[in-house]
Amino acid sequence: MTSQWHEQPVGLVGLGLIGGSLGVDLVARGLEVRALVHRPATAERARQRGLASSISTDPDVLDGCGLVVLALPLDRLLEPPLELIAALPAGAVITDVGSVKAPVLRVWQGRVPRFVASHPMAGTAAAGVEAGQRDLFRGRPWVATPVADTDPEALAAVRELATAVGADWLECAAADHDRAVALISHLPVLVSAALLLAADRGATAAGGAVPALARALASSGFADTTRVGAGNPELGTLMARCNPEAVLEGLAHYRSALDGLERLVERQCWRQLELELDQCRELRPPYL
């Protein structure tokens, strides 16, 4: 860790799943962590949970921080309050954790001099001040999308933050990031939601004992494939709203694949269907 980590506190804006998990990890590593939250009740509960060294609703809590993480929802990142921008310490490294990078860069690049767009690829279905947990980032990717004028020392500081909590560091272009996460993060939310809607509507259309029976018979396979579709609806909507072109591309590929499987079933091409499913078995491991 650089001297900056030892000499200056780390600031967190937001103590939800990502901010809270960062806070508890960094405090456990002996760093001073100062957190800005929106509500007094959130501040009190975060203190009880030990998510940061100092927690306040007063933006002055960020004074003296050498690195500040904006652990905010995408809509607040894309329309940041003026009082938040004013509260960011001059000269501090500023990074975010948003799941879409190109729009975030357009808002923040040039607004603060040492901004690094980043995205830790870690999460659970939980949200809010109760969601933060130890070791959330261990072994998970943390992606940065630097541009030509990104401060190299600022980029190095964010990299050290990521590696300090056990994350695997990656760098790529913002546009490439947004297209990739549309396929492996944003698309699964909508696909999972579609499966839930299809199961419910199909069971309702069948009528009789089928709706209750379908719910009673649902087991781990259905639970696994529908988990993200039943997650935070605000977050799922923001992902689509902030990355629509890439999400639509992903949906088009999914529709094409589903249509192909449907044709195989309609034509009773069982050997070809088996080959398709066998290919899927081979495709899965590199994604995990």
The DSSP code for 109 is: B
pLDDT in 10s for each residue of the chain, 288 residues: 444 655 799 999 999 999 999 999 999 999 999 999 999 999 999 999 999 999 999 999 999 999 999 999 999 999 999 999 999 999 999 999 999 999 999 999 989 999 999 999 997 777 889 998 999 999 999 999 999 999 999 999 999 999 999 999 999 999 999 999 999 999 999 999 999 999 999 999 999 999 999 999 999 999 999 999 988 898 899 999 999 999 999 999 999 999 999 999 999 999 999 999 999 999 999 998
What is the rounded distance in angstroms from the CA atom of residue 105 to the CA atom of residue 96?
10
Q: Which two tokens stand for residue 153?
A: 């020392």
**pLDDT (0 to 100) of residue 1:** 42
For 110-130, the pLDDT digits (tens) are 899 999 999 999 977 778 899
Q: Could you give phi then psi for residue 120, rounded to 5 degrees? A: -75, 125
Q: Are the beta carbons of 17 and 123 closer than 8 angstroms?
A: yes
- Nearest-angstrom CA–CA distance, 95 and 118: 6
The residue type at 179: R
pLDDT of residue 27: 95
Q: Is 241 helix (H, G, I), strand (E, B) or coil?
A: helix
Q: Is 110 exposed, middle or buried (0-12, 13-18, 19+ CB in 10 A)?
A: exposed
Q: What are the backbone angles phi and psi of residue 11, rounded to the nearest 5°?
A: -100, 140
Closest among 62, 119, 50, 72 to 93, alpha carbons compared: 62
How many Cβ atoms from other residues are within 10 Å of residue 207's Cβ? Answer: 8
pLDDT in tens, 18-34: 999 999 999 999 999 99
Check: CB of residue 118 under 8 Å from CB of residue 96.
yes
What does pTM read for this prediction?
0.91
Dihedrals phi, psi of 19, to nearest 5 degrees: -60, -45
Give me the residue label for tokens 């056990």: 166
- pLDDT at 3 (0 to 100): 47
The pLDDT value recorded for residue 269 is 97
Show the domains of the chain with their CATH numbers.
Answer: 3-172 (3.40.50.720), 176-287 (1.10.3660.10)
- Partners of 34 in beta bridges: 11, 54
Q: What does the CA dihedral 142, 143, 147, 151 come to, rounded to 10 degrees?
A: 10
Quick one: angle between helices 244-266 and 187-206, nearest 10?
Answer: 40
Q: How far apart are CA 113 and CA 182, in angstroms?
A: 29
The predicted pLDDT at position 6 comes to 59
- Residue 258, amino acid: L
